[in-house]
Amino acid sequence: MEASRELQSVTPTRIRHQVLALVTVMAVLLYLDRVCIGVAVLAISGSLGLTAQQSDWVLAAFFLAYGLGQIPAGWLGDRLGARGMLTGSVLAWSIFTAVTGLSWDLATLIAARLLFGLSQAGAYPIAGRVNSLWMPFYRRAFSSGVITLGGRAGGALAPWLTAKLILEFGDWRPVLWGYSVLGAIWAAVFWWWFREQPAEHPWCNAAEIELINGSSMAPATSQRASGLPWKAALSSPGLWMQNLMQFVANVAWVFLITLMPRYLQAVYDVDLAAAGRLSSWPLFGAMAGSILGGLLTDRLTRRVGLRWGRAWPGIGSRLLAAAGYVAAILADDPYLATAGLVFAAFTADLGLAATWAYFQDTGGPYVGTFLGWANMFGNFGAFLSPIILGHIARTSPYGWSASLATGAALYLVAGVCWLGIDARAPIVRPNAGQAQT
């Protein structure tokens, strides 16, 4: 009793905030390197003589490999720990960012993008595991929103910065080489400073450890995963709804980071610099949505409970995003069209923290594995997005308006999926298939 009172009188350290900041910077680099291709491909196509259809395959290749790598990368993060796996992931994708800049034809470019996508696959699933171990329950959605804000910040920066640097250098290759250096620096810092959980960090005091581990409702576990939980995954209705929700939502959302520059050039005849600048704006909207969505989800969860506190942001955000795509269709100049897509990106990301929090609530020692599981389906949708939406734009009599209408319809389906997602129901039984650290 005396020890408990003494612990309460000690001010908790803030190592958890530094962990959050470091993982958020990782998310910035994740999206900077990922999204830059949407603008760079406009220059790459001219340099390598690619057709519009070949460019669609270049954009899609990343998502195929990224999706296929989600489950193994997430499981390895749960099994082996975040420190080594996240360091290796960032270092590997930085190398393949540089390798992309060495491509000389369509085959080498697609090969580089496939390896780049495979290297990035573990980043968000492992970040989800870090968040579940380092953040108190009542801050899980908010901190998830901060991490995704970092990703959106990198995505917002990428089109503008990439277009500016390509015009400055007169070539797209040095831009990718420069981006790769940033990731290598981050990997070195993370390996030196990070520890797997609060109790292992030399600068984290007992009061902070108690603050993190003393949260209620859906406590995280520091146990390591053992085998892949196939039976639990295949029999979980909530996880299957997450799979479908992420698949259809990503077909719609990836338009913003792949085809939007081409859409603006084709429909409104804007130049490369304007296409890059306007394509950044939706990601700035997404940044605001990420952080506000985290705050909203945490507050709703405290007021209405775990079930609807997670579900309402998911439902509402998808329905509002659909409205944003419809607004873009009705616009008659590039700025109004961009405003509609900014609204879509902002509202879509209001529900992103709820998605992350769901897996931290229900995943037990398999947070990264299950987050990766649903991300795999999401990125199959992302892989198909430029192919499907680009094809619709080329072949439909309604052109790009038909592509945007398809995106709006898919967001409606994604909102309905959230009705079947219940964060109170664990995906895997407690203590099933776990190995102690």
DSSP secondary structure string, 229-251?
A: -HHHHHT-HHHHHHHHHHHHHHH
Cross-strand partners of 315: none
Please, what is the Cα angle at 32 between 28 and 36, to 5 degrees?
165
pLDDT at 340: 97
| Amino acid residing at 167 | L
Kindly report, residue by residue over 357-408, the tens digit of the pLDDT.
888 788 777 777 787 788 889 888 988 898 899 899 999 999 999 999 999 9
pLDDT band at 3 (very low <50, low <70, confident <90, very high): very low
pLDDT at 215: 56
Output b/e per residue, 263-295; b: 16+ Cβ within 10 A: bbbbbbebebebbbbbbbbbbbbbbbbbbbbbe
Q: Which residue has the tokens 């947070």?
A: 367
Kindly report, residue by residue over 108-140, the tens digit of the pLDDT.
889 988 999 999 988 888 888 888 888 887 787
User: Domain residue spans in the chain?
Assistant: 13-432
pLDDT band at 152 (very low <50, low <70, confident <90, very high): confident
Taking 90 as the threshold, does the pLDDT of residue 39 lie above it?
Answer: no
Domain 13-432 belongs to what topology? Growth Hormone; Chain: A; (1.20.1250)
Kindly report, residue by residue over 217-236, the tens digit of the pLDDT.
544 555 555 566 778 778 88
Q: How many CA atoms lie within 13 A of 255 on its CB side?
A: 35
| Dist. CA 340–CA 176, nearest whole Å | 30
CB-CB contact of 379 with 250 (8 Å)? yes
pLDDT at 47: 77
Mean pLDDT across the chain? 85
Q: Which residue has the tokens 């085959």?
A: 107
Alpha-helical segments (H) within 194-305: 206-213, 230-234, 237-253, 255-258, 260-268, 272-304
CB-CB contact of 323 with 267 (8 Å)? no
pLDDT at 347: 96
pLDDT at 283: 81
| Dist. CA 180–CA 182, nearest whole Å | 5
3-state secondary structure at position 222: coil
Q: Among the ranges 3-12, 85-94, 275-284, which has the highest mean pLDDT value?
A: 85-94
CB-CB contact of 367 with 132 (8 Å)? yes
| CA end-to-end distance (rounded Å), the chain | 29
| Dist. CA 99–CA 114, nearest whole Å | 11
Cα distances (Å, whole numbers) of residue 315 to 297, 348, 351: 12, 10, 8
Ramachandran class of 76: left when φ > 0, alpha when ψ lies in -120 to 50, beta otherwise: alpha
Q: Among the ranges 4-18, 273-287, 398-412, which has the highest mean pLDDT value?
A: 398-412
In the predicted model, what is the mean pLDDT of residues 35-61?
Answer: 80
Burial class (CB in 10 A: 0-12, 13-18, 19+), 230: exposed
Cross-strand partners of 434: 225
pTM for the full model?
Answer: 0.72
In the predicted model, what is the mean pLDDT of residues 410-434?
Answer: 83
Q: Residue 75's Cα: distance from chain center in Å?
A: 17
378, two tokens: 């999401």
In the predicted model, what is the mean pLDDT of residues 55-81?
Answer: 82
Q: Return the sign of the alpha-carbon dihedral for residues 429, 240, 215, 222.
A: positive
CB-CB contact of 191 with 86 (8 Å)? no
Kindly report, residue by residue over 337-363, the tens digit of the pLDDT.
999 999 999 999 899 888 878 887 887
| Dist. CA 217–CA 53, nearest whole Å | 49
Q: Of the candidates 421, 434, 99, 96, which has an alpha carbon nearest to the alpha carbon of residue 236?
A: 421
Instruction: List, as one string, the DSSP characters of 385-432.
Output: HHHHHHHHHHHSTTTHHHHHHHHHHHHHHHHHHGGG--TTS-SS-TTT
Kindly report, residue by residue over 237-282, the tens digit of the pLDDT.
989 999 999 999 999 998 997 889 889 999 999 887 888 789 888 9
CB-CB contact of 115 with 103 (8 Å)? no
Alpha-carbon Rg for the chain, nearest whole angstrom, is: 21
